[in-house]
Structure 1
Amino acid sequence: MTQLDPTILLVDDSAVNLEILQEALSRYNTVTASNGDDAMEIAFSRNKPDLILLDIVMPGMNGYEVCKILKSNDLSKDIPIIFITGQNDSDSILKGFEAGAIDYITKPFNIMELKARVKTQLSIKMARDQNQRLIHKIRTVNKKLTDSIEYAQKIQSASLPSKEFLDNVLPEHFIMLRPRDIVSGDFYWVEKADDKLIIVAADCTGHGVPGAFMSMFGVAYLHEIVGKNKITQPAEILNELRRIVIDSLKQDEDSEVKDGMDISIITINTEKKEIEFAGAFNDMLLVRNKEMQIFQADHMPVSIGETNLPYTNHVISFQNDDCIYLYSDGYPSQFGGPNDKKLMQKGFRNLLLENHHYTMAEQGDIYNKFFDVWKGINDQIDDVLVMGIKL
């Protein structure tokens, strides 16, 4: 069928009635059947009709039976059916609707009413078919996009440090990375430079595809800054990363693209038993002897900002069994719980403090499960990254 030439199946055991209907509906393509079996054969064919006008009283199967069969079959269930009959009492009409008909036309026919009802039902059918075509097209496009993004996720995952590398260079640790969408704007990065271990937890502007693009930039820039240029002090890494982001994205006060990153970076020197920390909005938490210390990040993004001062470099002596936590704002910002509110920084920090005595692997499981319970039926509102390291 096209919108210009719908086909109507006329089913009646009276040749006179079929002739009247064909003449009244001459503007449409019509096919006829004089009994239920022939009607179903046509309805199940490849060239199925767009509308069926179905008599009730016929030899063999009556119209109610035919209607029920057509509505129960996947090949014909979407074809609208109008009963045409002289049985116009309320019980008969109700029975017709219960069988699956959408309208009722009584005999003898009022031609103007017949044309109007047919036109209305065909318009509804064509609009519904158009919607189905659009839905199918949208699903096709969506699948192609989803397939592409899922492949991009594989590329993004491959850019992150491998589990084997992390297990080899990191102390006891866990990493919780949960993208809001398929790909993530949050990422982590780890590099060993001589006797120093550099660990990065980053939250790029946005999430999904835009965030993932920024995360790939971030990984590439960190390889250049640390791996190539041998910069290991966290504040200097941030200063250089900010400069590269601003230059690469041509950012100034008037630019539309002001995307960047919120990052926490630590450099661990095991020989000196020191941690250096610098952050852009993202703090570092240290738990020692059941107490939490908060090392605050500078309120300057890794991008063009209102102020572009050098980042602060904190130097902290660490002790064995100290627990370090780096994280993005996704976990504290998640709505949920009994009052459907954000967990907030205080709730998140209390959660870490209550569970820091467990092994890092156990903590990772605890925080993943808690997040699911807290979120409940709510949508995840942001990418989530939490890294825990036991020194």
Structure 2
Amino acid sequence: MNNIKAILNQINNIILLLDTTGKVQYVSPSVKNILGYAPEDLVGEQWWNKTNSGTDIVALKDRVLDQLERSVRMGGVQTERPVTTSFGSTKWFLWNTSIAADGMIVSIGTDITEKKKQEIELAKKNNLLSEKNDEIQDSLDYAKRLQEVILPEASVFQNAFSDAFLFFSPKDKVSGDFYWFHENDDSVFVAAVDCTGHGIPGALLSVVGNSLLREIVIKKQVESTGEILKELDLGLTEAMSKNNELKARDGMDIALVKYTKSIKTLHFSGAYRPCILIKDEIEELPGSKYPIGFYLTDEKIFEETSVELKEGDRFYLFSDGITDQFGGPMDKKFKKAQLKDLLMKTTQMSMNEQKEYIQYVFRNWQQGTEQTDDVLLIGVEV
């Protein structure tokens, strides 16, 4: 025993020798520097009484002894436990406990207070991050509900035309793509709009764009699609100059159609977005090479194209989310040519059947690839 004590006196960790009843027979001298107690003041029951403030001593001893019984079978046991110093503060120790050959219980305590502080601090930060994330998700859910309120139901397109479909798949909870609809006595306005980015920044811009379209078409009653885009550009530019949330490089691309029912004529203007027509053959009406918003020195001219349609003709408006989606066997973009080919091949289907088939082909193309952007495709049969 004297040889063991001589060795233990050289170790900086706290070493305890206990009998099978849990009474402490030896405490290493290092306890003075670590906990502030004299070793002789902690022998017997005093270790339990002095270093376990506020703890049920009997229950603690029983738990430790129970762990020790299991350690005989496992060869040792590790526990983390707080210890009260002579100054009233708390330190954390990792205790490695085993049974010696003579039946004595050997417990070696390593100070892990700093490690424990870091763990507690990390747990606090994680809890804070979790709370913040919950707040963000709640805000996103609320923003999603607000966006759903301002977006029309797909049925309004179907009721205004012979048939129609809407394929709308946001990348995130809220979308930078949005669609717009308005019907008056003789005209139906349909727009597919792609705002800068996606998620919250794109959604913020979509709310502004939706509000501006309502102001221009419904309140001001501007009828020309080219004039509508010009007014939209001016309105968004003004909004960006006043709102710090919007930046000079924020803007939107748009495909806008006005369909005059009495003369079955489609009027189209676009800002970087086309309109695809399927009459006897497929035709693309290109948009102007200017975006809505963005500060450019050139005067923006949004051209208007008019096309007479007949019953059964179809037109399609879409954002670049569908054509820019990566996938397929070579992990390449879906591309506009493939979309046009797909539309032409399915022109004999009903609009709902065509939508379901396009969605199937698109998802099959995407496979496990992450969705690149918000996806919007509007199909209309007059």
CA gap of 1:136–1:366, structure 2 versus 1, over 3 A, is: farther
Residues in 1 aligned to 2:17 and 2:218: alpha-carbon distance in whole angstroms: 80
In structure 1, stretches of 5+ residues that fail to align are 1-7, 43-53, 72-78, 89-105
The answer to whether the aligner puts 1:285 opposite 2:276 as a matched pair is yes
Secondary structure of 1:161 counterpart:
coil
CA RMSD of aligned residues (A): 3.6
Q: Partner of 1:169 in structure 2? A: 160
> Which amino acid in the other structure matches residue 334 of structure 2?
L
Match 1:61 to one of 70, 74, 77 = 70
How far residue 265 of structure 1 moved from its aligned partner, in angstroms, is 0.4
CA gap of 1:87–1:163, structure 2 versus 1, over 3 A, is: same
> Which amino acid in the other structure matches residue 324 of structure 1?
F
Match 2:308 to one of 317, 321, 342 = 317
Secondary structure of 2:174 counterpart:
coil
After TM superposition, the structure 1 = structure 2 runs for residues 4-19 of structure 1, keeping only pairs within 5 Å, are: 12-13=18-19, 15-16=23-24, 19=27
Match 1:294 to one of 269, 284, 291 = 284
Comparing 317-326 with 274-283, greater Cα deviation is found at 317-326
Secondary structure of 1:293 counterpart:
strand
How far residue 238 of structure 1 moved from its aligned partner, in angstroms, is 0.4
> Which amino acid in the other structure matches residue 201 of structure 1?
A
How far residue 245 of structure 1 moved from its aligned partner, in angstroms, is 1.2
Larger radius of gyration: 2
How far residue 293 of structure 1 moved from its aligned partner, in angstroms, is 0.8
User: Could you report, residue by residue, the CA deviation over 1:157-214 in whole angstroms, capped at 9, with x for unpaired residues?
Assistant: 1111234533332331111111111111111111112211111110111211111111
User: Could you report, residue by residue, the CA deviation over 1:305-350 in whole angstroms, capped at 9, with x for unpaired residues?
Assistant: 3533321101111122222110001111112222222212222222
The alignment-based identity, stated in percent, is 27
Residues in 1 aligned to 2:380 and 2:107: alpha-carbon distance in whole angstroms: 85
After TM superposition, the structure 1 = structure 2 runs for residues 36-185 of structure 1, keeping only pairs within 5 Å, are: 38=60, 41=63, 58=68, 60-62=69-71, 82-85=95-98, 118-119=110-111, 121-185=112-176
Match 2:262 to one of 271, 288, 295 = 271
CA gap of 1:23–1:86, structure 2 versus 1, over 3 A, is: farther
TM-score (ref. length: structure 1): 0.74
After TM superposition, the structure 1 = structure 2 runs for residues 193-232 of structure 1, keeping only pairs within 5 Å, are: 193-232=184-223
Q: Is the 8 A contact 1:12 1:55 kept in 2?
A: no
Q: Is the 8 A contact 1:9 1:31 kept in 2?
A: no
Secondary structure of 1:282 counterpart:
coil
How far residue 260 of structure 1 moved from its aligned partner, in angstroms, is 1.6
Aligned residues: 334
Secondary structure of 2:27 counterpart:
helix
Q: Partner of 2:7 in structure 1? A: none
> Which amino acid in the other structure matches residue 23 of structure 2?
A
TM-score (ref. length: structure 2): 0.76
Kindly report structure 1 stretches of 4+ aligned residues shifted beyond 6 Å: 8-11, 66-71, 106-109
How far residue 87 of structure 1 moved from its aligned partner, in angstroms, is 6.5
In structure 2, stretches of 5+ residues that fail to align are 1-13, 38-49, 81-91
Residues in 1 aligned to 2:342 and 2:25: alpha-carbon distance in whole angstroms: 78
After TM superposition, the structure 1 = structure 2 runs for residues 239-254 of structure 1, keeping only pairs within 5 Å, are: 239-250=230-241
Residues in 2 aligned to 1:209 and 1:184: alpha-carbon distance in whole angstroms: 7
Q: Is the 8 A contact 1:11 1:39 kept in 2?
A: no
Q: Partner of 2:43 in structure 1? A: none
